[in-house]
Structure 1
Amino acid sequence: MPEQQSADSPFDLAEGHPFGPHNLPYGVFSPGGSGERRVGVRLGEFVLDAGAVAGVLGSPHAGVLSQATLNPLMAAGRGVWSEVRRQLTAWVTESAYRETAAAYFHPLAEVALHLPFEVADYVDFYASENHARNLGRLFRPDAEDSLMPNWKHLPVGYHGRAGTVVVSGTEVVRPSGQRKTPADPVPVFGASVRLDIETEVGFVVGVPTEIGQPVALADFREHVFGLTLLNDWSARDIQAWEYVPLGPHLGKSFATSVSAWITPLEALDAARIAPPARTHELLPYLDDTLEELRGEPGGYDLRITVELNGQVISEPPFSTMYWTAAQQLAHMTVNGASLRTGDLYGSGTVSGGTEGERGSLLELSWGGKNPLELPDGKRTFLEDGDEVTMTAWAPGPGGTRVALGEVRGRIAAAR
C-alpha cells in the first residue's frame, strides 16, 4: 500500500494513495471530537470541512454542504453530486485553492465521526449464490438443490430496522431472545450463544420517489448516492427459532454497523464490471442483459477483508454477487414502494467460492463444526470482547486503489 502523507499537511500524499483526490468519500464529523456536526470529505488522514470551504469560496452548493447530515446533499440529485465532486477535486488539487482549503482541514485523529446520514428505511438482501448455497447445504443437506426455487428469479430480501443502524466503532451489545435447539422440549430465554457477522456492502439512496413509481434498472445511478461497508450482525440461534414463517426479526434488528464514510458512485467507475452469467431467464424489470444496459455494467469489483481480533479470517470478493444493486433497487420498488432520502439497503452476505472467502462465521465454522484457530483461541461464533473489523478497496483510475474505509464493532456482554 502507498505510504501515508506527512502528519503536517493533507497535500503531501504519496501518488495513488487510496484516500487520494480520486476517492474523496463523504462523512460527518465534529472538530475536536465534540460540538457542531459538519459534512466532511476525507483526504488521506485528514478531513476537509466541506461546508466551510464552500462558503468561503462562494460555491452555490454551500447550503447542502453546511449541514449536520449528508441527507440534503443526497436529495439534491446526480447533477449536484457531480458538480460538488468536481469542485471538491479542484479545491484539493489546484494550487489556486490550496491556501484557502488548507485552513479547513482537520487531522482525522482529532475529530469524532458520526453516522453520516439519517437512515429512513433499511432493507437487506441475500444476493450471493455462494452464500445461499452454503446455507442450503448446512440447513437442507438432503435437498436436491441447495437453492430455494425462487432464488434465481428475484433478489430475496427482508425489511430490517432503521433505528438500530450505527456507525463504525459503536459497541454491539449481545442480544437476548428466545432460543430452541432441536433437543429442547420448549424454548428458553437468554443471551445469544451463536452471535455472528455478515460481511456486506450497503447502498445509500439519495433521490426519493413517489408511491407507485418503480425505479428501472437504468435509473439506478439517478437515485443511489453511494455505498458503504456494512456488517449485518446476526444472532443465529434467535434467528433459527423465529424466522419460520415470516423471516428475520430479533435475530437481526439489534444492530447493523456501517462505515463512517460514504463512497460516491462516481469514485467507483473504474471498478464497474459485469455480474456473473445469468443461468435463468429474468423477467423484464430485472433483465440486465438487455442491449440498452450493456454500457451500464451492474457489478462492482470490491475486495473485502474481515479481521477478528486483528487476525484476517476471510477475504470475500464482491465481484461474485449474483444480484446487482441496480436489480435490488428495481425489485424493491417494482410494487410501487417509494424511496426516501436516506434509505439503506444491504447486499446480503458476500461470500466467494473458497473457504477463505466466506462472509460469515456460520459458513467459516460450517455451523460450528469446524472452529477457527486464532492466536487467542478457537472460535465458532463471537465471544464477549471480540472485535470485528471489515475493510475494502476497489480498483481506481490509472491503476490506483479506492479505499472504502472500515466498519468495526466490539461485542459487549448482554445487559
Structure 2
Amino acid sequence: MSFHSMWAELLPVGRSSASGGYRRFAWTGADADCRAWFEQQARSRGLAYETDRNGNQWAWLGDPARGDAVVTGSHLDSVPDGGAFDGPLGVVSAFAALDELRHRGARFTRPLGIVNFGDEEGARFGLACVGSRLTAGLLTVEQAHRLTDAQGITLPQAMEAAGHDPGAIGPDPERLDRIGAFVELHVEQGRALDLSGDPVGVASAIWPHGRWRFDFRGEANHAGTTRLADRRDPMLSYAETVLAARREAELAGAVATFGKIAVEPNGVNAIPSLVRGWLDSRAADQESLDAVVDGVRSAAREYADAHGVELVVERESFTSVVEFDRVLRDELARILGTGTDLTVPVLGTGAGHDAGILSARVPTAMLFVRNPTGVSHSPAEFAAEDDCVAGVRALADALEGLACT
C-alpha cells in the first residue's frame, strides 16, 4: 500500500465535520479505530505485532531481543480539533519507508520496529506523552492513576473500558533495551524549513517546556447587583495575568500561552468564584524559561492581591532541554546528504515529542517535514504531497543507512 492510499484511509478517522479538525483522544472510539488501522498495517506486512503494558503499539521486522533494533514511528492521537499531520505523518511514513526499502531490495542487518505511542498529546488527561513517559519511568504508576479527564474518568478507568489492563502499566526497561536507535519523523511545527526552502530537516534539540496551573479563587456573586468596589472577581486577575505572560515571553525571546481555562460557576450573570488557567511556556534555554514563569507568577500574585483573590500555582508537567544524540544526528545528516543535492538543515523546536522522552534512555533523533503554513495543532496544519514523499524517502534512506547493508 502506498503512502497516498494509507493517508487517505486514515484521514477520515476522528475528523470533526464541524471544524475539519481531529478529535482522536486517548482510549476513545476514534483512538480504537486508529489502533485497529495500525494493527492492520503491521499484520498485512507480515510484521510481528504487539501492544505493550502501557498501551503503545509495536510492529517488528526481525528479532528485537537482539537489543540493537532501529525503531521509527510517532503517535496517532490529536489535540482538540488538531491537524491531520501532527503524529500520523510519522506513523504512515514509517510503514511507507519500510515498503520503499523492500522495493529497493534492502537487506536488513538489524531488526526494525515501528511504534505508535499512546496519548502523546495529553488532550484527554492533561499530561503529554503518557505512553512514552510510563515506559521510560518518567511517570510513576501512582501519578498515572491520579490522572482524570474533564468528566472525572480516571486514566485506569478509561484504559479498562477500552479493553486494556491498567494494572500492568509502569516502567518497561526490557522493551527499551530492544532499541539501538529511535528516529521520529514529524511535520515541522513552525516555518523554519519553509523559510530556508528545504523539504526536510534534522532536529538539534527540544526546548525546555512545561505546564503550570494557576488557580484564582474569589467570591461568587450576582453580576447585576454587586458593586464593582465590592467584588472579588478572579477573572480580572486572570485576564491581567494572560497579558503579563505575553509581555514576559516577549522580553525573554520565548513563548507563553494561556490556552485552556475553567470557570466556576460559569454563569453569564455570575461573578466567578474560581478561574483556573493553564500556562504553557517554552524557551530556548532553562534560564529564559525560568525568567518567564517567575515573571508570570509574580505578576499573577500582584494582581490577585490587588483584587482580594487567592492564588495557587502548581507545576503539572515539565521537560528539561533535550539535546538529541549528536552521533546519531550527525549520521542522519551524513546519510541524507550522501550522493544527493539535498541540503539538510539542523534546527531546534519548541514542541515536545516522544523522541524527547526516550532520549534519556536510548539514542534518538528526529526528521522534520516542511510545513508551509507554520500552523500546527489546528486544521490549517499542512504539508505538501511532494514534501511528504520527500520525507518518506529521507526516512527510508536513514533507516537503510542505520539498519541495512
Q: TM-score range by the shorter chain?
A: under 0.3
Report the TM-score when normalising by structure 1. 0.26
Q: Which has the higher helix share?
A: 2
In our comparison, the structure showing a higher alpha carbon Rg is: 2
TM-score when scaled to structure 2? 0.26
The answer to which structure has the higher strand fraction is 1
